[in-house]
Structure 1
Amino acid sequence: MLIVPEALIADLVSAQDAYDAVAATFAAMARDQAYNFPVVREALGEGRQYGFKSGLDRAGGMLGVKAGGYFPGNMARGITNHQSTVYLFDPDSGRPTAMVGGNLLTALRTAAASALSIDRLARREARVLGMVGAGHQAGFQLRAAARVRQWDRVIGWNLHPEMLPKLAEVAAELGLPFEAVPLERMAEADAIITITSSPAASLMAGHVRAGTHLACMGTDTKGKQEVETALVAKARLFTDEVAQSVTIGEAQHAMAAGLVAAGDITPLGAVLTGADAGRRSAEEITLFDGTGVGLQDLAVAAVAVARARERGLGIEVAL
């Protein structure tokens, strides 16, 4: 088994690698060549969450699990709040093949999924990007969005506005003007990324104009909510996996209220394979519910392992 430490990941996996891996994963899911196992998520108290995401990709020859969660006290310890590790197994024998640091990989694959949705579902003339949330993941989201589209400017909102200057620094790094705005001004955006850990909706239907694409990336647990149900109900819905969208994703609340059904939600993989046309009009609001699936983690971890083996990196151990 090869151990690939977290410290090696940045030199092994690029944002483009993550984009390509996630796109291939979504396509394999749409062709029924890959599937995710049921997610296990547990609240540990004091905001801590821990769980497992796993799956099998027959097309890519990958079987594995990501274990980890969110520990809000970690910043005071000098480590990131999100902690995870990916374990890969031989799908034929079940023998463990790799253990991979999953923190950066999680950020890269989440941003890649968001960027994929923007590239395939936002209007071609989209020029203003809105950011709701300014935590650790937000910078990855902004960089990924800038790789797939050309933006004229970025507007941002965060519950704690003192965090917005860090996001402004990322925008400056990309050569984009940035402005902190109240939520009402999100109506100026052509595409909006929400990346918060909120238990209550912040983005309302009145904050979004016709023709906007939403990439809702923060809701991955029962009880979380970034977008009000009225906005979910009026949008055309896409997701990484329907089963997760209606149980732990952004659609869970609209589903519980009887405003949407599972059949109303289209897997993004269907758009990638051409089975679904995606956006149908310039006025349509599209919403991608990015719940985060285990197969994404396996795909980016497999890239890290392949690169590490090519370069003679990592720690080989016999179990």
Structure 2
Amino acid sequence: MWIVPEKEIAGLMTPEAAFDAVQAVFAAMASGKASNFPVVREAIGHEDALYGFKGGFDRSARNLGLKAGGYWPNNQRRELINHQSTVFLFDADTGRVQAAVGGNLLTALRTAAASAVSIKYLARPDAKVLGIVGAGHQSTYQLRAALDQRPFEKVLAWNRTPERLKRLEAAAQEKGLPFKSVTLEQLCQQADVVVTITSSFSPMIAEGLIRPGTHLACMGTDTRGKQEVAPEIVAASTVFTDEVAQSTTIGEAQHAFGMGLLDAAAIVPIGDVINKEHPGRRSAEEITLFDGTGIGIQDLAVASAAVDLAVARGRAVEVEM
């Protein structure tokens, strides 16, 4: 089997390659060529950690495997990022293990790619102001990926601890864009695209704050009980997602669905838009919301690409099993 250490990933995978891989996964899922397995994700009762598994099989790419890992909120005191994971790939013909791949950077890249795909297909073409809610490890990846999808002219951001927004400010300045730390109310009043990337268990964006025509990419809710926006906002939006089953159980839509405000049949797989089975945004006034729950075959796609590159460049380690 091949081992691709975490330290090698930055030199192998690009945001562009992650975008292409994730877009292809969404299209394969919508056409029935790829399936996601049910997520296992639980509190382990130690270090306040959430741990679990995401897996699946993409027949079109022959990617089979899983990602194991989770969220350790106390890792900063150890000078580690909170998200820790490893991707395991298996031979679809024999079941033999093929590779173990560091999953931390890959998770950030594929999550950012997923929201970027939603912006490409659902945000208004004239979107000019980008809003980012959250300033954790993944926030800068979200910002950079979003900026590639529209000619944004300004970046607004909010975080419970504003001093942590400096990393986002630096990322915006890299692109030559003005950046401003604002209140949530100000952000929602001005932003054409709002990306939420937090670990919140209560809604931060209240009912009535989102303007008509806004595109929301809710990327932080991937566990039962998590929530970033009010369920009334979800109910008032046209909701798109990576997988409907996860959206109603562990995604942002779980609360509106559970309250009877949203029917599962009304939630649109983003792959249907990519495959031109759904028109996507239908008016300049429509509020679109992408519920990015995070699917295992996204992780498999970017990990498989990383393995191919690592082997070709002599950056992978081969071991006998």
TM range (shorter): over 0.9
Is 1:312 aligned to 2:298, yes or no? no
The separation in 1 between residues aligned to 2:88 and 2:175, in whole angstroms, is 34
How far has the Cα of 1:164 moved from its partner?
1.3
Matches within 5 A, 1:246-285: 246-285=248-287
The separation in 2 between residues aligned to 1:207 and 1:178, in whole angstroms, is 21
Is 1:106 aligned to 2:133, yes or no? no
CA contact (8 A) 1:130 1:191 kept: yes
How far has the Cα of 1:205 moved from its partner?
2.9
Report Cα offsets for 1:186-224 as digits up to 9, x if no partner. Answer: 221101000010010001232211000000000000010
* Residue number in structure 2 paired with 1:213: 215
Instruction: Report the AA paired with residue 73 of structure 2.
Output: P
Matches within 5 A, 1:186-265: 186-265=188-267
Is 1:177 aligned to 2:178, yes or no? yes
The separation in 2 between residues aligned to 1:119 and 1:228, in whole angstroms, is 24
* Residue number in structure 2 paired with 1:41: 41
% identity of equivalent residues: 60
Unpaired stretches in structure 1, ≥5 consecutive residues? none
TM superposition score normalised by structure 1 = 0.99
How far has the Cα of 1:69 moved from its partner?
0.2
CA contact (8 A) 1:127 1:190 kept: yes
Instruction: Report the AA paired with residue 39 of structure 1.
Output: V
Q: Give the one of 278, 296, 299 matched to 2:298.
A: 296
* Residue number in structure 2 paired with 1:145: 146
CA contact (8 A) 1:245 1:289 kept: yes
The separation in 2 between residues aligned to 1:193 and 1:213, in whole angstroms, is 8
Instruction: Report the AA paired with residue 3 of structure 2.
Output: I
SS class of match (2:225): coil
* Residue number in structure 1 paired with 2:11: 11
How far has the Cα of 1:44 moved from its partner?
1.7
Is 1:22 aligned to 2:22, yes or no? yes
How far has the Cα of 1:47 moved from its partner?
2.7
SS class of match (1:12): coil
- Runs of 4+ in structure 1 over 6 Å off: none
SS class of match (1:255): helix
The separation in 1 between residues aligned to 2:308 and 2:18, in whole angstroms, is 13
Q: How many residues align?
A: 319
How far has the Cα of 1:182 moved from its partner?
0.8
SS class of match (2:10): helix
The separation in 2 between residues aligned to 1:98 and 1:175, in whole angstroms, is 40
Unpaired stretches in structure 2, ≥5 consecutive residues? none
How far has the Cα of 1:290 moved from its partner?
0.1
